[in-house]
Structure 1
Amino acid sequence: MADLAATLICPSSALVDGGDGVRFATPRGEAFVVRYRSQVRAYLNLCRHRPMPLDMNDSRFFSLDGHHLVCSTHGAHFRADNGLCVLGPCPGQKLEPVAVIERDGSVWLVAD
């Protein structure tokens, strides 16, 4: 990581495809990282309908089928691959992405 300013978030093994996420702090606020279709994806932990965390402080972000990120308060469903709201009170809006990288068995927050 000498060539990249980054902060450790978690070991790669902490993220199971379609499973629980890991919450972490960024300079822009709280965020979360999940694994979807073998790729790590990270977003600020704020629903686009109202500025509330998506999860109930339990790091559960996915729908039961493991394909959408769901706001536990408003029921908005967001595509896990790009954060686009496809169901609920904020269609067409997107979760704000956070730059992360997976390298050497760990997931890292990339400096903005």
Structure 2
Amino acid sequence: MEGQVSGVPERVLCVLSDIPDGNSKGFPPAPGGFTGLFAIRRGDQVWVYVNSCPHIGVPLDPVPDRFLDAKREHVLCSTHGARFRVEDGFCTTGPCYGESLEAVPARVDGEGRVLVPEDAGL
């Protein structure tokens, strides 16, 4: 356990500089977990989601750390071509239209660490 906010135990996912600005990065499952996470960075903002398409549960990335479309505007499912908004994970096109990625609460602390709930991805 790294810390707590509002009584929720947190763990360090990475440091902000591990995610190139305007890009994404994947992370393996936490110990004992089954599903990895991925993060998208825009400046000092970070969005974290579970790496699972709501359509059939497949991982979104065709190759490590490639979660965004060519213009880096949307999250893209490599299996079915579904597109999701970065800001809220809502599917705008594809077979899971209207559904959303599973968001993970995340924050960047004063030391530049990206923190997520300890049980994220379990």
- TM-score, structure 2 length as denominator? 0.80
For residue 71 of structure 1, what is the amino acid of its counterpart?
C
Listed as ranges, the matches of 1:1-112 within 5 Å are 2-4=3-5, 5-26=9-30, 27=33, 29-36=35-42, 38-103=44-109, 104-111=111-118
Distance change >3 Å, CA 68–CA 28, structure 1 → 2: same
TM-score (norm 1): 0.86
User: Following the alignment from structure 2 to structure 1, what is the Cα–Cα distance between the partners of residues 112 and 59?
Assistant: 28
Q: Which runs of 5+ in 1 are unaligned?
A: none
- Cα RMSD after superposing both structures: 1.9
Identity %: 34
Number of aligned residue pairs: give it. Answer: 112
Q: Structure 1 stretches (4+) deviating beyond 3 angstroms?
A: 1-4
